[in-house]
Amino acid sequence: MPSAADQTVFRDAAFAAREEHHDAVRFEGTDFTGAHAEGHSFLECSLLGGTLDDAHLEGSRWSESEWQRVGGVSVSLVEASLVETTIEGCRLAAVSAWGSSWRDVTVRGGKVDFLNLRGARLKDVAFVDCVVVDLDLQEATVDGLTFEGCTLVQPAFGRGRYARLDLSGATLRAPVGLTGMRGAMLSRPQVIDLADAFAAELGIDVRD
């Protein structure tokens, strides 16, 4: 990442063309409400304290970039690409990121409600000290995904490939699709806590 002094400050959310390229731009306090940036590429860019309500970022490409303290409801990252990008202290909701590709991405702090990663490709991705409600990882292809100090509420799994999916550092609440988590890692206490849920999904009648 370039220093703040080396970035161009850009506060106007109106984009003039499709598939525009942004290099070393600092979007500080920018209101992206309803903005269209489909297919745009962002290299070494910063989003700081802005708003992404109803933002259209479908097919966008983010590389060596950062989001900090960004808020937004109904954010579309469908089939977007995030590489070496950090999302920190953000408050997001209704994030559609199905079919997206994430590599070397860190999500730290903050909260995400309704994160749809169905069919996404995730490699070396880390969630740290955050809350994610209604995380959809069904049909996802995972090769290195960790949750450290996170709370996952109603995460959904199944029909995916979960190599190096490490859930041992997370608190899991009402997960769905446990029997489809082949390849995932859980701690022993988690397995004990989730025993009834596993049994229910397998149709096993557990009696005292």
Query: Which residue range forms the structural domain that includes residue 28?
Result: 4-202
Within a domain: 207: no
Query: Is the pLDDT reported for residue 16 higher than 50?
Result: no
pLDDT value at residue 8: 57
Within a domain: 152: yes
Query: Is the pLDDT reported for residue 178 higher than 90?
Result: no
Q: What is the CATH number for 58? A: 2.160.20.80
- Cβ neighbours for 51, distance < 8 A, ≥ 6 positions apart: 30, 31, 32, 33, 70, 71, 72
Least confident range of 35-49, 122-136, 190-204: 190-204
DSSP letter assigned to residue 175: -
Number of domains in the chain: 1
pLDDT value at residue 192: 87
Query: Is the pLDDT reported for residue 54 higher than 60?
Result: yes
Question: What are the CA-CA distances from residue 92 to residues 18, 75, 131, 164, 204 (Å)?
Answer: 24, 8, 11, 26, 38
pLDDT value at residue 5: 52
Query: Is the pLDDT reported for residue 13 higher than 80?
Result: no
Within a domain: 165: yes
pLDDT digits 0-9 by tens, 110-159: 999 999 999 999 999 999 999 999 999 999 999 999 999 999 999 999 99
Average of pLDDT values for 182-189? Answer: 91
Evaluate whether 121 touches 140 at the Cβ level (below 8 Å).
yes
CA-wise closest residue to 115 among 55, 164, 156? 156
Within a domain: 19: yes
Provide the CB-side half-sphere exposure for 101 (13 A, CA): 7
pLDDT value at residue 65: 97
Q: State how far the Cα of 138 lies from the Cα of 152, in Å rounded to an integer.
A: 15
Within a domain: 208: no
Q: State how far the Cα of 32 lies from the Cα of 14, in Å rounded to an integer.
A: 8
